[in-house]
Structure formats: C-alpha cells, structure tokens
Structure 1
Amino acid sequence: MPLLEARHLRVDLHTHRGTAPAVRDMGFALERGDTLGLIGESGCGKSMTALALMGLAPDNAIVSGSLTLEGRELIGLPDRDWRAIRGFRLAMIFQEPMTALNPVHRVGAQIAEPLRLHQHLSAHAAREKAIALLDRVGIPDAVRRVDSFPHQFSGGQRQRIMIAMALACEPDVLIADEPTTALDVTVQKQILALIRELVDERGMALILISHDLGLIAQNVKRMLVMYGGSVVESGASAEVFARPAHPYTRGLLAARPSLANRLVAHRSERLPTIAGSVPDLFSLPPGCPFAGRCAYTEAACRTQPPPVVALPGDHRFSCRRADVVLGTPESIAEDS
C-alpha cells in the first residue's frame, strides 16, 4: 500500500461570505523515496493542501475525502492522534520563516521539542542533536547559537532553523512549502542537496511546493499543476515540462524567464503573461476553473466539469477541448 495517499481530498472554508472550495478533488499516492511537486499561482490551493495533509487546516475549514498513511485513515482523527504523527512521521517546512518560530523560546528548545516528545530523548541528548542539526543546515557556531532566540537570526537563518526542526525526527514524509524563499542561491543549493540526501538515505517521501518552476524541474520526479483549488495537470516532471498539455500549464511555462525572454525584456518589452487573474474562490465557475482566461473557452467549459484526458505514461490533464488544445502546440501566454 502507498506510504501516503489522498483520494478526492477536499477543503471547504466557511466564512461570512459563504463556503469557498479551497481544495477540490485532490488525489495522489506517494511511496517511500517518491518526490512530488505542487505548482500554481498564489491562491490556487497549494498551501491549503499542505495544511490539510498535516491536520492543520483552519478552524473554519471542513476537510473531507480520504487521506491515509500506510493504510490508516487520517481525516477525522482527534487532535491527540494528530500530535503523535506531526513532527514524527509527517513534518512540514512552513512558508513564512519570520513568524513560524515561537519568539519566546530559544531555537534549541524548539528543535529539541519533537525529539523529546517522539523519540523520548533526554534533555542533554536532544540538545546535542539540535546542535548537530543546526550545524547540518548551515548555522555557524551552532554550539553557541543553539541558545539564541529567533529574533537574533536573519530571515534566511530562521528558514534554516525551521528546516532543522522539520528534519529532526527524520520523518517519513516531508512537506516543504517554499522552503528556500528567504535563502540566497548558494544556501538554496545546500538545503536542497540536504533534502535530496535524506530522501535517498531514508527513503523519505517529499512534497515540494514552489512558484519556482526550475526548482520543481530539478528536484521532483512527479508534479501536480493546481489552479482554482483543482489539479488541472499531472505527470512525470520531465514529461510535463517537455510536453505541457493544459493551457494553464503552457501559459506558466511560457511566462518563465529564459534567455530569449531576457533578450526581449532588454528591449523594454514585457515578458509573456496569462490574461486575466485567478478567480475568487467564491465565484469559481461550475465547470473548468480556468474558463474565461483560456483562449479555448467555449460555453460548455463554464458549466460542465472537464473530463480527465489520459496521455502516454502517467500524464493526465483536465480539459473539455483536449483535441483542439493538443492540436495547437503554441502556448496561450500573451506578449503584453
């Protein structure tokens, strides 16, 4: 059975405006050593998916569907059972390093906490391991700085401390939500190399969430493209990057910086963009969430859910006009 499997996972947010479907019909299966990437614009549901996988969805959220860890259903577990899993078998590197750490506790104590709770280490042993983890993620003079408070570190250093916390118990599944946002290029490479090393050493499964398409291409074997809370395309990363099928995926890839685009930009012209903006979750069309922004939109796209189209290998995408889209290799990104 898969290590971690989501089937028809859904997250509905209840607010004063009504109910918003933040994640709709999410599905994937991870084995040990698998690497999965989630990409998409801000607001497409990537981070909400990650929170649901950790049992940390907001209080106003209803999580439904199925999420299993080695066959054990996680949805509906009491918080006591979730606490036994979080930080031990499932761990997460949160997106915002400036607010994710507790400001009134020393960083060493925060790293040591999951070690004492889940691995039952003594205070001394947990402290020694915390120092080793700080050193491994590149915090200089870790022996001295283990007793420092979060505000005494830079944003990039706080990001590395969060990574040390997530890796402390060597989890079975690591969810990394924009793990290198606050890091310079050199440190990014070091951290990603460390994560890859742990995946290879322990067979840890990795879910990497990022806006950086290059980061996804280089670090995960499979990827999900999300839009409007839904997965619109999935498959092996190499295949999706080489032959993107969904108009949204094509637009994303066309808009990324490249040598040709940089030459265009040098002539004071804008890079290609996708027309329109991400729809409000409260006003998603009942059909394809990309309807209206897509150049191939017809009336039925707005009212009827798109079918899933199977391509060679494990490549899938959701589109009502697949025959037309696949016959048009150009991207829908526009030069504006």
Structure 2
Amino acid sequence: MPLLDVQDLAVTLQTQRGPVRAVRDMGFTLERGQTLGLVGESGCGKSVTALALMGLLPENARATGSVRLNGQELLGLPESQLRRLRGDRIGMVFQEPMTALNPVHTIGRQVAEPLRLHRGLSASAARREAVALLDRVGIPDAARRIDGYPHQFSGGQRQRITIAMALACGPDLLIADEPTTALDVTVQQQILELIRGLVQERGMALILISHDLGVVAQHVDRLIVMYGGSAVEGGPTRTVFADPMHPYTLGLFGARPHLGRARGERLATIPGTVPDLPDLPPGCPFAGRCTFTIPDCHTTVPPPAPVGPGHHARCIRLDAVAAARAAPGRNTA
C-alpha cells in the first residue's frame, strides 16, 4: 500500500462565471522516502492540489475523487479529524513565511504548538524539543532566540522556522509549496538542501511545488508537469528532462535560458497566453496554444499515454510530436 494514493482528484471552484475546474483528474502515488515535484506556470493548479491534500481548500471549492494517506480516505473527513492529521502526519511549508507565522507569538511558542497539540508534551518538554528543532534547521543560538518574534529574523531564517514547525511531529508526508520564494540564490540552495537532508534523515515522502525547473531537476526523483489544472506529463525527473513529449513540456523547457546563447538572442516563447480557467477548452487544456492542435484537441480529453518506463503524457498527437522532434531544426514549442 503506498503512503499517498491520489486518484481522479478534481477541484471545482464556484466563481461569478459559474463552476470551474481548477484541478482535473489528478492522480499519482507516493511511497515513503520518495520525492515528487509539481511544476508549471502560475495558476496551473499546483497549490490548489496541495491545499486539497491538506483539506485547506477555500469555502467556494469542492474536491472529488480519492486521496488516501496510509489507506485512510481524506476527502470528506470531518474538520476535527483533518486537524488531527495536519501538522502531525502531514506537514506543509508555505511559500511565504511572514503570512504562515503569527507575528504576535514567539517562534518558540509556534514551533512548540504542534508538539503540545499532537504529542501531548508539557510546556517545558515542548520548549526543549522546539530548541532542538530550531537548532537542527540552522537557527543560530536557538536557545536564546526561541523567545524572539518573526520580524526579528531574516527571510531565510523565517523559512527555516516554518520548516521546523512542519517537521515538529515527524510527519509521514511533507509538502513544500514554493519554499524558496523571494530568497536569494545562496539562501535558496541552503533551504532546499536542508529540506532534502531532513527528508532523507527521517524517511518522509516529499512533494515539492515549484515553477523553477532547475530546483526540481536537482531535488526530486519524479516530476509532474501541470497545465490548466491537468497533469499533462509525468515520470522520472531525469527521463522527463531528457525526453519531454508533451508539447507544453517542450515549450516550457525550450523557454529556459541556456549558457552559450548568442548575445541578444531571444528566448523561445509559447504562442498565446494562458486562458482563464472558465475559458479552458473542454478537451486538452493546451489546445489552441499548441502548434499541433487539430479540431479533436478542443473536444477530446486526452488520456495518459505511456511514452516510456514510468513516463506518460496526455496528448492525442504524440506520434506527430515524436515525428516533429525527429526532424532536424524543427521547433516543437
């Protein structure tokens, strides 16, 4: 039995223009110790997927399908039971620590809170454990600074504090949603290495959400590329990077800057713009922006098709994509 089993997950939002599907037919499994990356442009459904797993969707959202953690179905659980899981069996690192941390409480109180709620530790025991956690995530002089407030720490240190909070109870699953947003490159690398080391040390599963292809290339074993709320391609990270097959993945990878480009050379771009969720076609969400679009693409929901060992893509024109990739000089973005 996998640690996390997500099948046919869909999230529908009620908007002024009627119901729209923010996540469509999402499915994956995750074993203890495995790492999975979710990548795609802003608005593609990455964070909504994470919120659905945590049971933290907004009131105007409804999730259907199945999300099982250690065999227990999470969708439909009462809020009281979800609260017992959040911060205990599932930890989450949010992308902006200043909104995740309470500015009027000390960091020690906030790191100790899940230990008191879920582990039943006394105030003194929780404080000792909080000091150890803060020290483990690299907060200097943690025993003295535990009574500090969030504004007294740097951005990188605040992110380390949120990681300590997420890891306090030793969760089975850690979800990191853009954990290095607004951090400089050096601190970003330190935070990502910290997360990777802690995941390996504690044998957790990790879902890393990012729009930074370089980040996921270095830090996850498997990769799912999302567009318009759908998982358009997925597989082992090295395989997807070496042999992308979905037209959106090809366009996304083709737009990356590369060393050695001629001065003044323009980056490749994907034609068109990302449509609003209510305007997505009923078939493939990438239809219309894709150079391989045919009329059926607008109406046919493409099933995941195998393109290699553990590697799949949702496209009804994979043969045409493969032929175009084989043609010299052809830009398939």
CA contact (8 A) 1:159 1:182 kept: no
Instruction: Name the structure 2 match of 1:254.
Output: 254
Secondary structure in 1 aligned to 2:187? Answer: helix
Question: Offset of 1:66 from its aligned partner?
Answer: 0.3
Establish whether residue 302 from structure 1 lines up as the match of residue 295 from structure 2.
no
TM-score normalized by the length of structure 2: 0.95
Which string of whole-angstrom CA distances, capped at 9 and with x for unpartnered residues, describes residues 230-286 of structure 1? 0000100010000000011011111112113xx33xx23332221211111011101
Deviation per CA, 1:155-205, whole angstroms, max 9, x where unpaired?
222222111111111110000001122333333333322322232222200
Q: Name the aligned partner's letter for residue 275 of structure 1.
A: P
**Please, which runs of 5 or more residues in structure 1 have no aligned partner?**
none
Q: What is the one-letter code of the residue matched to 1:91? A: G
State the distance in 1 between where 2:75 and 2:303 align. Answer: 27
Residue type at the aligned position of 2:300: Q
Matched-pair contact (CA < 8 Å) for 1:308–1:318: yes
Whether the aligned pair in 1 keeps the contact of 2:10 and 2:21 (CA below 8 Å) is yes
How has the CA–CA distance of structure 1 residues 241 and 151 changed in structure 2, closer, same or farther, with 3 Å as cutoff? same
1:5 match: 5
What displacement does 1:117 show?
0.9
Identity rate of aligned residues, in percent? 66
AA aligned to 2:289 is: R
- Aligned length in residues: 329
Q: 1:33 Cα deviation (Å)?
A: 0.5
Deviation at 1:80, TM superposition (A): 0.5
1:14-50 deviation per Cα after TM superposition (whole angstroms, max 9, x unaligned): 1222111111100001111111000000000000000
Mapped partners of 2:155, 2:101: distance in 1: 11
What corresponds to 2:273 in structure 1? 277
Aligned residue for 1:251, secondary structure, equals helix
Distance 1:39 1:189 in 2: 18
In the alignment, which residue of structure 1 is the partner of 2:324?
A: 328
1:147 Cα offset (Å): 1.0
Mapped to 1, the partners of 2:118 and 2:167 lie a distance apart of: 13
Write the distance in 2 (CA, Å) between the matches of 1:184 and 1:136. Answer: 21
In structure 1, C-alpha distance between the alignment counterparts of 2:103 and 2:17, rounded to whole Å: 34
Matched, 1:210 2:206: no
The one-letter amino acid of 1:254's match is G
Distance 1:109 1:276 in 2: 49
The CA distance in 2 between the partners of 1:185 and 1:137, in whole Å, is 18
**Aligned-partner residue type, residue 298 of structure 1:** I
Match of 2:307 among 292, 307, 311: 311
Instruction: Work out the CA distance in 2 between the residues paired with 1:168 and 1:305.
Output: 42
Whole-angstrom distance in 2 between the partners of 1:216 and 1:99: 24
| Matched AA of 1:135 | D
Q: State yes or no: 1:37 paired with 2:33.
A: no
1:84 matched residue in structure 2: 84
- Residue in structure 2 matching 1:292, options 288, 298, 302: 288
Distance 2:249 2:62 in 1: 29
Change in 2 beyond 3 A, CA 1:298/1:308:
same
Gaps of 5+ in 2: none
Question: Is the 8 Å Cα contact of residues 321 and 332 (structure 2) preserved in structure 1?
Answer: no
CA RMSD of aligned residues (A): 1.4
The 1-side partners of 2:324 and 2:125 are apart by 60
How far is 1:322 from its partner?
Answer: 1.0
User: What residue in structure 1 maps to residue 98 of structure 2?
Assistant: 98
In 2, Cα distance between equivalents of 1:182 and 1:137: 19
Contact 1:247 1:331 in 2 (8 A): no
Residues in 2 aligned to 1:289 and 1:163: alpha-carbon distance in whole angstroms: 34
* Aligned residue runs from structure 1 range 1-336, under 5 A: 1-260=1-260, 263-264=261-262, 267-329=263-325, 330-333=330-333
- The answer on whether the counterparts of 2:156 and 2:191 sit within 8 Å (CA) in structure 1 is no
Q: Which whole-Å deviations, capped at 9, do the CAs of 1:205-248 have from their partners, x for residues lacking one? A: 00000111111111111110000000000100010000000011
CA distance in 1, matches of 2:177, 2:252: 19
